[in-house]
Chains A and B, each alone.
Chain A
Amino acid sequence: MSFSSVSPRGRFVTLPPVTEVDGVSDFLSQAPGVDEKELLAGLQRGDEAAFAALVDRYAGPMLRVASTYVRDRAVAEEVVQETWIGVLRGIEGFEGRSSLKTWLFRILTNRAKTRSAQENRSVPFSALPGSAGELDEPAVDADRFFGAGHPERPGWWALPPSPWQDSSPEQRLFGREARVAIAEAISALPERQREVIALRDVEGWSSSEVCETLNLSAANQRLLLHRARSKVRSRLERLLTQGISA
């Protein structure tokens, strides 16, 4: 096994605590490579502090991404555990051709997909095989626009959206209900759309990181992201419009 030569040497790295102080987390997320190399080397040497630091950095995002595949919180935690075991198994052979983060999340999404496939055998709606015409679905229901035969404004809004901030109290927009609605909308998405929005918008990854992790072209990534965002928006619109008429 890879870590047999470990000795009781001192702690290898001490990470500063990640606080919410101005820009600290921004800095980390924009420069993930800052000490990733050190952590990786520590991990390959079997250093527990390096392992713990990586767990603390990535386990939260990993759990949230896993939760977009499997509903059950306990199963999502298992997926995270299995991923780290996969990491320990593979770390010796990891050559750093991709970033550690990309590699980690590739293992994670593969594990999560397997578990989700098992889980979904009993969940009818997600079991629908990649709903027909997935890539042709419009961002907005066609009946919100004037038809092609309209004399003056074909293709323009017949039922335009109304601004949210004017009609919805802030707490409704950013409150728990909205978060639940978003999470539900995401978990009901076709798999590829769900993967892309989870990494791009929930976790805030760059498009190139997402393309690398999910092996997508930039154009395809944008298309999937657009479908996903459009559906989440539409779900929120339903929630917020209900609020107005209630």
Chain B
Amino acid sequence: MTGSGVLTCKELVELITDYLEGALEPRERARFEEHIDTCDGCIAYLDQFRQTIRMTGALSEESLSPQARKDLLETFRFWQRN
């Protein structure tokens, strides 16, 4: 992604994680922001990307079953006796 001139949408969608992680060079970042300021499609895309990250973080808070926890503590006691 070292092209000059205006960034295309196709290029921009490949830079989103780098952008969000603050890993773009200042010039690259400027091109990114310049593009997104005027492109509704890319604004929507960036927003979807952010929502995806948020929703992935909200995956069910599954936890260990009480039985599995109990088994583990028993394993621990057994481990200590031997």
Q: Once A and B bind, how many residue pairs between them come within 8 Å at the CB atom? A: 150
Candidates A77, A138, A182; contact of B59 at CB < 8 Å: A182
Judging by beta carbons under 8 Å apart, are A164 and B51 in contact?
yes
Q: How far is the CB of A7 from chain B (nearest CB, A)?
A: 11
| Docked-complex contact B58 and A179, CB < 8 angstroms | yes
Of the stretches A31-39, A98-106, A114-122, A151-159, the one at the interface is A151-159
- For B53, the closest partner residue in chain A by CB is A201
Tell yes or no: A60 within 8 A of B by CB: yes
- Check: A84 CB closer than 8 A to any chain B CB: yes
* Cβ-defined contact, B59 with A173, below 8 A: no
Contact of B73 with A by CB under 8 A: yes
Any chain A CB within 8 A of the CB of B2? no
Q: State whether B71 touches A81 (Cβ < 8 A).
A: yes
Contact of A233 among B48, B63, B82 (CB under 8 A): B48
B-side contacts of A80, CB under 8 Å:
64, 68
Is the pair A222, B44 in contact by a Cβ cutoff of 8 Å?
A: no
Q: Are A60 and B62 in contact (CB under 8 A)?
A: yes
Known A-B contacts A155-B8, A236-B52; A204 and B18 likewise in contact (beta carbons under 8 Å) = no
User: Which of B8, B41, B49, B65 contacts A77, CB < 8 Å?
Assistant: B65
B9 to chain A minimum Cβ distance, whole angstroms, is 5
Q: Is A63 located at the chain interface by the 8 A CB criterion?
A: yes
A: number of interface residues (CB 8 Å): 59
The residue on B at minimum CB distance from A227 is B17
> In the complex, A161→B40 CA distance in Å?
9
- Tell me, rounded to whole Å, the shortest Cβ–Cβ distance linking A28 to chain B: 14
A80 to B45, CA, bound (A): 37
Does B37 make an interface contact (CB < 8 A)?
A: no
- Check B75 for interface membership: any CB of A closer than 8 A: yes
Closest chain-A Cβ to B69's Cβ sits at a distance in Å of 6
- In the assembled complex, how far is the CB of residue A61 from the closest CB belonging to chain B, in whole angstroms? 9
Interface centre among B40, B48, B61, B63 (most CB of A within 10 A): B48
Q: What would be 6 A-B contacts, judged by CB atoms less than 8 Å apart?
A: A55-B72, A84-B76, A160-B44, A202-B59, A229-B49, A237-B48
What are the 10 A-B residue pairs with the smallest beta carbon separation, nearest first? A155-B8, A160-B41, A226-B17, A157-B41, A60-B63, A3-B80, A201-B56, A59-B64, A155-B10, A233-B52
